[in-house]
């Protein structure tokens, strides 16, 4: 069975001590200045001419600091928290969105939109797991589209969504993101978009059976994009088959009471656990009203804890519809043991 979630404690920040220099009772005028009609010559200062009135500033190097030698700085974080830097990827809980691309703001109609805001806004708001459906464009098979069901209802170029992800990672070098594709397009067509956007320079490769690195190690190596797919598989080695790495819970119930922690796909011997947490309406369509109910802390947190207790493994990917409804991010912080930090 997969390992149980074990939170790691964050390291304390170092305190930098700066000895204060004595203040001279009669300061000399600045070099090169004029005082009382007398010009004071400028004398180059070298190490040999430093006086006891010069403050000696000494800093202690620490990997949690930003490397500045001008004074103390804020500790570096990983996905927003210092405590997560030393935690392995498979022991972190990440907030995610179902059909991340299927957003009303991007023109998807209410009949099949699972989100209000598009991918760029989701990332800025704190979403770190994106579930994306991709298809080949029938009119142009060289183009990959993000659709939900029929592409004739609405679609967005995969290049656009992947470009937003790449731009976010480049602008936020302390963040790690995961993509899970429902892939109806071939691997080579999808990965071509990675070459075009430069996202392939940021991908992480997990060797089968090897331990997962910490978030800090992934960030230091600048391999901060974990790519998985429901159908596709390597090559390339970074295009992981998700059910070789993870397992998930059933999805698509129409009442909160039907949410289950039972095994759906994959194997519980895998390292990563995906909890699908959304409730459709009675027609099986996305429901913002239901999202407001099941995303609330008093429903979402007990469900996640039940799944954790059932499998002795905290959910790694906690995925919802209409993420801005309810308490997704607060619940993820509680599960990670970083609430209030």
Residue scoring higher pLDDT (33 or 105): 105
Which two structure tokens, joined as six digits, stand for 51?
């006086």
More confident residue, 282 or 3: 282
Element (H, E) at 218: helix 215-220
**Residue 94 — very low, low, confident or very high, per pLDDT cuts 50/70/90?**
very high
Model pLDDT, residue 226: 99
Whether residue 147 is predicted with pLDDT greater than 90 in this model: the reply is yes
Exposed (0-12), middle (13-18) or buried (19+): which is 141, by Cβ within 10 Å? exposed
Q: pLDDT tens digit string along 205-216?
A: 999 999 999 999
> pLDDT digit string (tens) for 24-75?
343 444 443 333 333 333 333 334 333 333 333 333 334 444 444 455 688 9
pLDDT digits (tens, 9 = 90+) for 274-297: 999 999 999 999 999 999 999 999
Residue 340: its pLDDT value, please? 84
User: Could you give the C-alpha distances from 337 to 3, 6, 31, 93, 208, in angstroms and in order?
Assistant: 17, 10, 56, 10, 28
Determine the pLDDT at residue 341. 79
Contact 229, 187 (CB under 8 A): yes
Would you tell me the crossing angle of helices 328-336 and 297-311 to the nearest 10 degrees? 40
Q: Which fold has domain 92-332?
A: TIM Barrel (3.20.20)
Q: pTM (2 decimals)? A: 0.80
| pLDDT tens per residue, range 156-186 | 999 999 999 999 999 999 999 999 999 999 9
Backbone angles phi, psi at 77, to 5 degrees: -110, 165
Share of the chain above pLDDT 70, in %: 79
Question: What is the structure's pLDDT at 71?
Answer: 57
pLDDT tens for each residue of 313-326: 999 999 999 999 99
Cβ-proximal residues to 247 (8 Å cutoff; 6+ apart), any chain: 263, 264, 265, 266, 267, 268, 270, 272, 273, 274
Assess whether pLDDT exceeds 90 at residue 23.
Answer: no
pLDDT at 257: 95
Residue 82 has pLDDT above 80, yes or no: yes
Average pLDDT, the chain: 85
Checking if the pLDDT of 254 tops 80, the result is: yes
pLDDT at 21: 37
Tokens 């030393």 belong to residue: 86
């Amino acid at each position: 069975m997969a390992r149980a979630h074990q939170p790691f404690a964050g390291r304390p920040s170092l305190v930098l001590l700066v000895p204060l220099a004595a203040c001279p009772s009669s300061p000399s005028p600045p070099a090169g200045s004029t005082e009382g009609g007398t010009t004071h010559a400028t004398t180059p200062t070298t190490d040999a001419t430093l006086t006891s009135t010069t403050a000696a500033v000494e800093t202690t190097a620490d990997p949690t600091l930003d490397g500045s030698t001008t004074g103390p700085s804020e500790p570096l974080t990983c996905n927003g928290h210092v405590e997560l830097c030393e935690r392995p990827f498979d022991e972190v809980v990440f907030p995610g969105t179902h059909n991340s691309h299927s957003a009303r703001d991007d023109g998807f109609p209410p009949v099949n939109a699972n989100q209000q805001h598009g991918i760029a806004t989701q990332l800025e708001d704190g979403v770190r797991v994106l579930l994306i459906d991709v298809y080949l464009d029938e009119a142009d098979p060289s183009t990959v589209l993000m659709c939900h069901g029929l592409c004739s209802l609405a679609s967005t170029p995969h290049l656009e969504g992947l470009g937003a992800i790449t731009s976010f990672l480049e602008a936020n070098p302390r963040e790690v993101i995961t993509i899970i594709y429902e892939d109806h397009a071939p691997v080579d067509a999808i990965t071509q978009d990675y070459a075009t956007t430069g996202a392939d320079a940021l991908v992480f490769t997990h060797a089968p059976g090897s331990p997962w690195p910490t978030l800090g190690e992934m960030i230091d190596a600048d391999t901060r994009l974990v790519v998985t797919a429901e159908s596709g598989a390597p090559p390339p080695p970074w295009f992981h088959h998700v059910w070789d790495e993870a397992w998930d819970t059933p999805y698509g119930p129409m009442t909160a009471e039907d949410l289950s922690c039972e095994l759906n796909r994959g194997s519980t011997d895998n390292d990563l656990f995906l909890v699908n947490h959304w409730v459709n309406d009675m027609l099986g369509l996305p429901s913002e009203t239901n999202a407001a109910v099941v995303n609330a802390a008093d429903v979402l947190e007990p469900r996640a804890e039940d799944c954790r207790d059932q499998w002795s493994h905290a959910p790694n990917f906690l995925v919802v519809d209409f993420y801005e409804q309810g308490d997704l991010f607060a619940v993820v912080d509680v599960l990670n043991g970083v609430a209030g930090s």
